[in-house]
Structure 1
């Protein structure tokens, strides 16, 4: 009887727990206050950030092909003639000289490079001709909040380049009469001329320079003193950064005195835009652009109750609900992939209660809105620095009520229910062509979606989305914290307090990949599909020294192989463009890609020679090709993609040189990404190249072709500089043993051979231990994507507890109460570099999968890095190399069962701890095993 009662109690408790579980939903009790609070929707082409405001709703939207730039040459003709000299300087230990020479002659071509300097000089002469008194007397001064640490763009001046004046004041204490002062302004983007009471007291250029100017007593006067600053910004962000200082800024104090004793400048700053049309600055690559905003202004301003804003990632649907004046208002939005549109439905609990105006806004200077018909408004934009145009249509269909349209807005009055349809298109045709008709495209797409009911589009959307999303399931346990709003869960998170938040985080990563990368679109960039700024950090490009690749780490593992199609499209186009760069810069065959590319598939080195000359981007991008074949066993795919692998290998057969000191083949010039400058023979290069050569050889054998070429690959492979253990027991990052064990740089590039590569197998315990030492020395902190990489590395090193510690850092709140930011997550679970970069979301999701199953070593390694804080759980739909789909169950930290579905009929070796099993599988069959790996 007692046993029966206990069983019944356990059953009731389990049912109660199941009932208390939240669906896979992010939810909040108030509208988004900023962009990183808003909730993302996307269909791979069109993305929207939904704010859920009450008085005003905002949908900030993007179209994946709206970029700056244009089709143009990127490689610098004749750069290869300087390659021998650069190599020689590096061999002689003259790194600085090599970097100077490379900066002058080896970097890629910049857009607007020809004739820029005379234009810049003439413009500067014109804007500097305006005197301080003239600026003060100019009309149109406006208030602004200072400092602007992320540029004046976030203070309402988005997309503005040029000359802007700022003014404030301070009161001179009587005790300071007759003393020279120091005026501390911190850092400024980019150039400034600073005046006190009309007298120029200092000028400098460069965002890294701290402005502390001497103010002579002769320039001062009793009482109020006027501070006037002309800030000149040519490109990207501008403004008074100020706050990134170790001592007080925006203060004045007696010269040589403690800055802490100073007096603060008046916080009531004002600005005046003198000239916002400087000559277009030469740029190496293009930047991803926002398109615009849909704004819904509601008539009622009465208070609301029972507010809830959510994103249901099982349905890829956002919903906002609240009560106002006795009625319940509901808004739902989805991004339809079949229709390439964002669709919304607005409802009220009482008839005739929907009253609002819908309108467009956009940060682009060249924009206009215009009426299409009785229900449709259009927005047309032209990017400032580039050829692309865009057109968006917004259509309103209302039940009851009245709809009227002008060139500025759509007015909805007394409606029962409203459906919104949003489409957008650009003139982008291909990376070599940009003459499509965006108006025609937007109109055609609108014809395909308007008139369809929201319910019909919703069901169609689920039929498309859910087969992708529902292919995977993870349960790590449940606690009461699961009932909290998502922002509160983040603040209170620990793996023990809320294991379900980690499961949500991983599934959110899958959701974001589906939303930002679908066949027919562009690949996920640094921000996936979403971006609100004309000057996004790092151009929101495709950074190929880890970030683009990390975006796709979850694709094969977590059942989203189809989402990698846009990546393979980029790789194919970059392979064509990269042949020119290989020839012009290295006099080599094959193709090469450096550390960034963009919509126009630039492949040449960019930015600066100390980090922009990195030759293994193409080699790394062949890894997803080989991985896709390993997971899918799709031989026809491999046959189509093999020429890309072969040409990437051919480049290195031509490029590698013999090191005179060691006799090894080495990669030179290059760098260990963003660390240590231009060097010869960085470890990461050799790991990537070694894997490329091996994979290409295996692909040739699989396809039974290119036997002679395979022999060339093998010869280079065995002569390539090996991994080395240094004097601190570390894996050397460079050819020389010069690692600093106190260095905590965000990149851990030399550990590529542990993950995502396989150059350092678990069986090689010497190198594995050296890698562990290096990883330990780098520490557990870092930017978001760096933390995500470390999760994967600790998982490959089979230390699940350490991997979980990094995951805990990855889910730390990025925004503290003081408004400062750090690596972690924002309130909407976006990854914080900071600022937002989506790669950490994707890398973290992949790292959790690596903790549960690994298959890179030729067998299925079950629960290789299970942390103690995940004592019980279940996962369904993990993918493994060889064409296997794996489901696992565990209790008390021990495996209780495993199911393996074979999709390709390949032999399968399974390992769990010291247990092994070999299966000869048949395609389509599922094999159920117990904890002892015995068939059930």
Structure 2
């Protein structure tokens, strides 16, 4: 009787918990079915471990990462003596020889790649197979035993089932043509292939190319096509990275046989055969963030009802609840930062009803799985072409029931409840050292937690999490109980203010989950990645994406989470000293547009966008911003050498422009746009900002007066922003902007946001020119670009445009951007920066502090006409609580962290007050101090 009461109580608890979730709907992501794809799964993380919860009923899948599992290893990324070619590159740019400059820079000025092998012998061997009499290119070749694969796959064959495959793969496709069709002139359009292809029709070679950027449009000779069946065969050779027939990024454009009137579409299933996976090692500029493994759980549940999958961002836990055969099953998941573990609990409302099988798996070719004891599975991984190794441990603890094993699976039968603990570690120590013992690390963590109950771990986890999350709150409208994916579909047609508030808090949740004290900084995907070849290597792109990740850190009261970024800045400043010397013969340090776990700082990829030396200047801005928000002189003392080093670099690197005499960067580019140039506007904005930062920091710390004086002399000589013939802010020194250009990067507006040099108060002409540039560039863009435009339009005080861009960001993902069902930002594919930039942008609509004022409700549309925000930080060292109705402040409370001057603005009302450190001030609707 007591046991029955216990389980009736448990069922009651589960029901009460479900009601509690509904009551807190503003902080819940809710779904009524399991995730089908990764972008529907729910993210949890502790900064070190990230996991994606699919919530399947019969087949549960939890994919996980550990933050330090990357390819490659410590090495020198710099091409020694590259500076010998600097003057030649500059001279070519002065003489308008951009192509020549880019060619020379590509040969002599890019970073060193990782180790690579000679490919000639392998290519010769593969060639011989194509020359054999009966090879896969021939018309009558027997391919009945071949499997099928979806073609094309723009993000690589890895996304459609061929992960970890580098080498030679054959593809074949049958098409049927009429007698009339074969009379026409045809071109075979595959668009792009990664990387080499040999393409045949009916056994005859029609084309071959050797690089991804070369378009495959192969003219088909007359008489080659047959009435009836025709065979298209493509041998794809891929050395490293993404592979396969890529086709078009815009999936509405199909690959196929094409002429002026007709298209025979070839999208769909192709037969394929993996010929050779022993491709020679190919060098890469930088490393790739890797997935670690998967937890796979098999349940004997088929017919279920009342299914619910949620992510409670107020408590940082995911949950799955459903009923099967009269029993309610509950699964709870969280990632604990204090205990560095992923913790899962399975419960059933009736005794002895919990049965399942659990195993570990991994995509890494080099992996081993074994049982350490009757309750613990060990997964060992070794990354391909790298020095990093990892160990994961999964330990299962039961309440009731029994546990056994079969192979490397654990079998649980007849339990009342089960707790799963996952720990993971690698041999990474720092960017120079990989001497740690991963199994000892994982075992030590497991030893510390496996004797602790689920509820104890949960309590510790929530206390830690809430110490960050509860510092801020936002309410923007009445609650909505619909499923999250449904709310996403409806938001663009009917603004749901509470959904925008949820998006802000989700951004804070993701930052807490992917960036904690002592961890690595959040990368392009935070801490989550399921692909061996993720887009852009899931590393750190420093021409906006890494920086955007941390736009919410200060304003949304998560200052502690800036620490991993500051650690990264220090490390790239150390590595960047050699790059500054090798490439520019300069003092200080430099960072170009990308870095990775090993802190590469040299130019990478291609000279038309990879030579961009102002990444470090932008990162220094985050240190200064943190000071402005918190007024902490210790932060400046700790990082003064970084600020000084970046300043010294530009003191040495800047050169007079050959026409204007202004100081400019050369060579450089306006990020990913326009090729290699002299003095793009963004660079000048960043350098001016850096110089002002250095001058102010050295004054505050009373150091280096002589250097400060020299920088003060240089500052007014740095190239100024210019207004062009269309009334636009010029992107380059020359007035060559194209008003029809819709490029995703709008880098020349950096001084509008996140900089503050261009603003409505002090530089209205430039402010209006920036607005004109934004109008010409258009609203559409990738996910992070949409997020940046929210911030731009908020700084331009345009409430309707700001709202419109929020609507575009919060729409179902398409080829232009938006959000996936789990609210991950879509570049596409997934990039997390848009989540962070969008969250910061919504707050920028509500409050701004980049001028002398704390500007209240500067760009808030009528769709958000009432609301409440608490704990928002602003520059000058203040924390603000505010309520509003009908777009007017009704209550205002401000805490002074440092005792600074407080200047408030709402509409035409301006007020100024002196404050004392630690005191809180209350104001009425007219911003008059009442307490």
- Compute the TM-score of the two structures, normalised by the length of structure 1: 0.94
Q: CA deviation at 1:226?
A: 3.1
Matched pairs, number: 903
1:806 is matched with which residue?
805
Q: CA deviation at 1:201?
A: 3.1
Q: CA deviation at 1:508?
A: 0.3
1:88 is matched with which residue?
91
1:65 is matched with which residue?
68
- Whether the 8 Å CA contact 1:872–1:892 is kept in 2: the answer is yes
Q: CA deviation at 1:145?
A: 2.5
1:614 and 2:620 correspond: no
1:207-606 matched pairs, under 5 angstroms:
207-216=212-221, 219=224, 223-242=228-247, 244=249, 249=254, 251-252=256-257, 258-260=261-263, 262=264, 268-300=269-301, 302-405=302-405, 408-478=408-478, 482-494=480-492, 497-606=495-604
- Whether the 8 Å CA contact 2:495–2:807 is kept in 1: the answer is no
User: Secondary structure, in 3 states, of the residue corresponding to 2:240?
Assistant: coil
Among candidates 676, 699, 702, match of residue 674 of structure 2? 676
CA distance in 2, matches of 1:187, 1:50: 34
- Whether the 8 Å CA contact 2:617–2:690 is kept in 1: the answer is yes
1:835 is matched with which residue?
829
User: Secondary structure, in 3 states, of the residue corresponding to 2:743?
Assistant: coil
1:114-193 matched pairs, under 5 angstroms:
116=117, 119-131=118-130, 133-135=134-136, 136=141, 141-175=146-180, 182-193=187-198
Give unmatched runs, 5+ long, in structure 1: 1-17, 816-820
C-alpha change, 1:89 and 1:628, in structure 2 (3 Å) is same
2:648 is matched with which residue?
650
CA distance in 2, matches of 1:271, 1:718: 62
Q: CA deviation at 1:647?
A: 0.6
2:114 is matched with which residue?
111
- Whether the 8 Å CA contact 2:309–2:321 is kept in 1: the answer is yes
Among candidates 93, 100, 104, match of residue 103 of structure 2? 100
CA distance in 2, matches of 1:159, 1:634: 48
User: Secondary structure, in 3 states, of the residue corresponding to 2:129?
Assistant: coil
CA distance in 1, matches of 2:567, 2:253: 50
- Compute the TM-score of the two structures, normalised by the length of structure 2: 0.94
Q: CA deviation at 1:631?
A: 1.1
C-alpha change, 1:447 and 1:620, in structure 2 (3 Å) is same
What do residues 567-620 of structure 1 show as CA deviations (whole Å, max 9, x unaligned)? 000000000000000000000000000000000000000011111000110111
CA distance in 1, matches of 2:232, 2:477: 59
2:4 is matched with which residue?
none
1:12 is matched with which residue?
none
C-alpha change, 1:268 and 1:737, in structure 2 (3 Å) is closer
C-alpha change, 1:450 and 1:21, in structure 2 (3 Å) is closer
C-alpha change, 1:141 and 1:855, in structure 2 (3 Å) is same
Q: CA deviation at 1:725?
A: 0.8
Q: CA deviation at 1:265?
A: 5.6
User: Secondary structure, in 3 states, of the residue corresponding to 1:508?
Assistant: helix
User: Secondary structure, in 3 states, of the residue corresponding to 1:145?
Assistant: strand
User: Secondary structure, in 3 states, of the residue corresponding to 1:612?
Assistant: coil
C-alpha change, 1:709 and 1:534, in structure 2 (3 Å) is same
What do residues 375-399 of structure 1 show as CA deviations (whole Å, max 9, x unaligned)? 0001111111211111100111111
2:3 is matched with which residue?
none
What do residues 323-347 of structure 1 show as CA deviations (whole Å, max 9, x unaligned)? 1111111110000000100000001
- Whether the 8 Å CA contact 1:373–1:405 is kept in 2: the answer is no
CA distance in 2, matches of 1:908, 1:265: 65
C-alpha change, 1:836 and 1:701, in structure 2 (3 Å) is same
1:788-867 matched pairs, under 5 angstroms:
788-815=787-814, 821-867=815-861
Q: CA deviation at 1:764?
A: 1.1
Q: CA deviation at 1:934?
A: 1.4
2:8 is matched with which residue?
none
Among candidates 906, 913, 923, match of residue 912 of structure 1? 906
- Whether the 8 Å CA contact 2:155–2:535 is kept in 1: the answer is no
Which shows bigger deviation, 195-204 or 62-71? 195-204
Which shows bigger deviation, 855-864 or 669-678? 855-864
Q: CA deviation at 1:186?
A: 4.0
- Whether the 8 Å CA contact 2:681–2:748 is kept in 1: the answer is yes
CA distance in 2, matches of 1:727, 1:394: 64
Among candidates 880, 890, 898, match of residue 896 of structure 1? 890
User: Secondary structure, in 3 states, of the residue corresponding to 1:611?
Assistant: coil
- Whether the 8 Å CA contact 1:633–1:904 is kept in 2: the answer is yes
CA distance in 1, matches of 2:276, 2:668: 41
- Whether the 8 Å CA contact 2:495–2:863 is kept in 1: the answer is no
CA distance in 1, matches of 2:642, 2:668: 22
C-alpha change, 1:150 and 1:125, in structure 2 (3 Å) is same
2:635 is matched with which residue?
637
User: Secondary structure, in 3 states, of the residue corresponding to 1:369?
Assistant: strand
CA distance in 2, matches of 1:799, 1:57: 46
- Whether the 8 Å CA contact 1:360–1:369 is kept in 2: the answer is yes
C-alpha change, 1:402 and 1:277, in structure 2 (3 Å) is same
CA distance in 2, matches of 1:917, 1:247: 55
Which shows bigger deviation, 707-716 or 573-582? 707-716
C-alpha change, 1:219 and 1:328, in structure 2 (3 Å) is same
CA distance in 2, matches of 1:699, 1:666: 23
Give unmatched runs, 5+ long, in structure 2: 1-20
Q: CA deviation at 1:243?
A: 5.1
CA distance in 1, matches of 2:453, 2:23: 33
CA distance in 2, matches of 1:715, 1:267: 64
CA distance in 2, matches of 1:613, 1:289: 26
Q: CA deviation at 1:196?
A: 3.2
CA distance in 1, matches of 2:741, 2:81: 38
C-alpha change, 1:625 and 1:178, in structure 2 (3 Å) is closer
C-alpha change, 1:243 and 1:648, in structure 2 (3 Å) is closer
CA distance in 2, matches of 1:627, 1:37: 35
- Whether the 8 Å CA contact 2:206–2:220 is kept in 1: the answer is yes
CA distance in 2, matches of 1:654, 1:186: 44
- Whether the 8 Å CA contact 1:70–1:388 is kept in 2: the answer is yes
CA distance in 2, matches of 1:333, 1:354: 17
